[in-house]
Amino acid sequence: MNSMKVTRRDVLGLLATMGIGAAESTLAAAQKTKSDKLAGGKVVFENDKVRVISHLARPRMGVCGTGLHSHPPHLTIALKDVKAKVTNAGKEPFIAVNKAGDVFWDNGGAHVVENISGRDSELYLVELKG
């Protein structure tokens, strides 16, 4: 089976084809500002239409944040293969397995997501704005 590697450039190119672009200064500022960290992630792109947050996690760490946390509704793009234990608030935990290049929608809400892979995980959360 061929593995598809999705890069930051691929994601930003996709956003551009959708007409969702940002001024170079906005992108550069987002990349350089350390205060842009959110729930363990880092804002890598933001404009008036979307915010893209990069999340990196070692094995046994939170995939998209630490402990019980929440996100608004968002699109998730897996950049590396990952196996995660997902516990949504008030529900039974389940195991999610995603391959690099997988894309899925999440309605948001409180959860805990633990990387149970033997390797680092990397993903983007794309939040749509108003």
Query: How many CA atoms within 13 Å lie on the side-chain side of 37?
Result: 7
* Residue-level pLDDT at 130: 82
CATH number of the domain at 95, please.
2.60.120.10
Tokens of 115: 């990387």
The answer to the question of residue 30 being in a domain is yes
How many domains is the chain built from? Answer: 1
* Residue-level pLDDT at 13: 64
**Beta strand extents in 1-130 (DSSP E only):** 37-38, 41-46, 50-57, 69-71, 74-78, 82-88, 94-98, 103-106, 109-115, 121-128
Can you tell me the distance from the alpha carbon of 83 to that of 17, in angstroms, rounded to the nearest whole number? 30
The answer to the question of residue 2 being in a domain is no
The answer to the question of residue 3 being in a domain is no
The answer to the question of residue 39 being in a domain is yes
The answer to the question of residue 104 being in a domain is yes
The answer to the question of residue 1 being in a domain is no
Q: Is 83 left (phi over 0), alpha (psi -120 to 50) or beta?
A: beta
Residue-range definition of the domain harbouring residue 61: 8-128
The answer to the question of residue 106 being in a domain is yes
Does residue 84 sit in helix, strand or coil? strand
The answer to the question of residue 100 being in a domain is yes
Residues 6 or more apart whose Cβ sits within 8 Å of residue 37: 43
pLDDT in tens, 84-106: 999 998 899 999 999 999 999 99
pLDDT tens, residue order, the chain (130 aa): 444 566 666 766 666 555 555 444 333 343 333 334 456 789 999 999 999 999 999 999 988 888 888 899 999 999 999 999 999 988 999 999 999 999 999 998 999 999 999 999 999 999 999 8
